[in-house]
Chain A
Amino acid sequence: MRFLFKTDYEDDIRLFPHSGYVASYGLLLAVLLIAPYVLSSYLMSQLVFVCIYATVGVALMILTGFTGQASLGHAAFLAIGAYTAAYLQKYNVPFPVYFLAAGVLTGCIGALVGFPALRLQGIYLVIATISFAFIVEEILARWESVTNGNEGLRVKAVSLLGVTVSRDSPTFYFLCLAVLVLTIVGTLNLLRSPTGRAFVAIRDSETAARSMGVNVALYKVKSFAISAAITGFAGVLFAHKLSFISPEMFTLQLSIEFIMVILIGGTFSLHGAVLGAIFIVMIDPFLTYLKDDMPGIIAGIAATFGAGTATAANIQSKVAAFASLNGLKGAIYGIIIMLFVLFEPLGIYGRWLKIKLFFQLFPLYKRATFKRQKIYVKSERNR
């Protein structure tokens, strides 16, 4: 176990606490940079989605994970970013300009949503953000002069410095990766600044934060605006990646997926946003893989345990029929959410920390280290 000897505050807020971090993140970055020349085009495409989802995850992490304000309306912010890009692109606005414009506009709308959210908390805030997302979805479907209604909008490829960047090219992947890395570094810097400390203080106790002189209203609105702006940036990339956007892409379902990203990753660290994004994006191809290969594997297992050829074939067709049932994916999603909330509330990154601590403290690790406090009193829940 490594003990860090900190002598001043600068040591405490360092981005890389020791050289091990530099080495491991450098290695990760190197792997990510050579990835497009190694991986198949399908996996590359998934990796681009991982970058986009992780960017949204980081945005949501600022709001939900660090400021404690739950939002089930982030699909709407993504939609605003995507539509801003698509609309401005029609008028030949260059990419950097509409990229920034999308972020600024989404940020302003985020701040506007933040104002009513000041008086709300917990369940009311969740409901308010859901309503906001519904209203945005309806506006997108009805404001046909700008959004082309339910028919959707085509989005042309990015044109950067006169070069057209196709959505499947490695350059587009690097663009998404750059946005993600910049977002993460920016967020880390934000979180170690007074603003970030104010966010965390509000999350932990609004009353305490207020009595310590934190302007709760200002920081909540700031948190909403920053989170929305980052989601808007991700929306631009999302629109370019899909090359076609329509209102039914930005439903409550997508907002729930974003919440799942941080919930599954772990709601207390930016690592969680990335890990959760990988999980959410890769679960789809993984389920397809299971659906295609599982029947054969199970039949093979049945055959090795002495089932006849006819029985094995029968089992195979039954499993295949079950796997291709409509809606099985939704059921699996539901089960995953419930399992994580019930058994792994700290998410994948929490599990990693537990495993790490287990080996660091061996044999002194105890489960209670990560036990959360239960609150049974109503007045304690009103923060």
Chain B
Amino acid sequence: MLDFVQQLVSGVALGCVYGLIALGFVLVYKATEVVNFAQGDLMMLGGFFAFTFIGMMGLNYWIGFAGAVAAMALFGMLAERIVVRPILGYPQFSIIMATIGLGYFLRSVAGMIWGTDDFKIETPFSQGVLRIGSLVLAHDKLSVIAATVILCALLWLFFNKTTLGTAMRASSENMLAAYYMGIPVKRVVSIVWAISAAVATCAGVLLAPITFIHSNVGLVLGLKAFPAAVLGGFGSIPGAVVGGVLIGVIESMAGFYLAEGWKDVAPYLVLLAVLLLKPEGLFGLHARKKV
């Protein structure tokens, strides 16, 4: 039983990271119907920025964290301006390929700048553990869970209660109509990319104590975040986090109870099952063209 709870908590922590990356997908998807295959790589880059600020320049953890988030928000806007904006409105596949290309580019450049070693960021949560009876919970894992819940709540409020959030949902439905209603669609898209890069950075920094930061971490985790996003239903903010947690728990349970090899496949098996049985996911809406 203790093992089970232990696995459950570490699965939830891992799942929260997937959920945070999936949140990035969902934000961009909600606002522009574009899927960003470079989301994991944005996370990786955010982790490296934070490592540069904290590990190499010796800044305070929180200042470095904030600096990395700000830098990555700017970077997200830049990436949107250069790569995505010229092809908005073209078939989804073009944008998927463009972001795959962007991911390739970021991964290689990060490898060139920071090398291919693993890096670790010293955080205030690295050492401590929380003991409940004989259950041992590491602070770094708890910090991921707490941050995910907070970020998810903030983003949900942002999307559903603020004017800018409403503008984003509107431009997702119909960019032209939104533009005619006075919504600056280009700026909205730009802001969405900034937010999603910032969320990715949070994921990267929080992840750093659990899995180390290296140039391929984005690819590995980014691809695991897809099942999370699909399970939750693309386009639903709470869905992304719930999906992420479910995938994380399934993965960590499969790693513990099933034979070797199931751990890596389980998320994708779940994904295929979801796509077969309920393609719109747990919280998603199914849209169909009406003639």
Contact = CB atoms under 8 A, between A and B. Distances in A.
Nearest to B104: A334
Nearest to B271: A131
B230 A337 contact: no
B176 A330 contact: no
A326 B112 contact: yes
Interface of A is mostly: helix
B101 A127 contact: no
B93 to A, nearest CB: 5
Contact of A328 (B112, B265, B287): B112
Interface stretch (A47-55, A164-172, A278-286, A368-376): A368-376
Contact of B287 (A127, A128, A382): A382
B105 to A, nearest CB: 3
A342 B89 contact: no
A116 B272 contact: yes
Contact of A338 (B89, B98, B176): B98
| Interface size of B as a range | 35 or more
B190 interface: no
A71 to B, nearest CB: 11
A197 interface: no
Contacts of B96: 70, 123, 126
Interface in B92-127: 92-98, 100-109, 111-112, 116
Interface residues of A, number: 52
A342 B86 contact: yes
Contact of B89 (A70, A327, A375): A375
B108 A327 contact: yes
A211 to B, nearest CB: 7
Contact of A128 (B95, B100, B261, B272): B272
Nearest to A336: B101
A6 interface: no
Contacts of B226: 127, 130-131
Interface string A361-383: 00000000000101111111111
Given A138-B264, A325-B112, A334-B101, 18 more contacts: A116-B275, A116-B276, A123-B35, A123-B92, A127-B227, A127-B275, A130-B226, A131-B226, A131-B272, A132-B268, A134-B223, A135-B268, A207-B291, A256-B100, A334-B105, A374-B89, A376-B174, A377-B177
A379 B101 contact: no
Interface of B is mostly: helix
A40 to B, nearest CB: 30
B196 interface: no
Contacts of A211: 291
A331 interface: yes
A359 interface: no
Contacts of A380: 289
Closest A-B pairs by Cβ, 7 of them: A337-B101, A334-B105, A374-B89, A334-B104, A330-B108, A331-B108, A376-B175
A2 interface: no
Given A330-B111, A376-B175, A379-B287, A345 B83 contact: no
B289 A329 contact: no
11 contacts: A124-B230, A132-B272, A135-B268, A327-B107, A337-B97, A337-B101, A376-B89, A376-B174, A378-B287, A379-B287, A382-B287
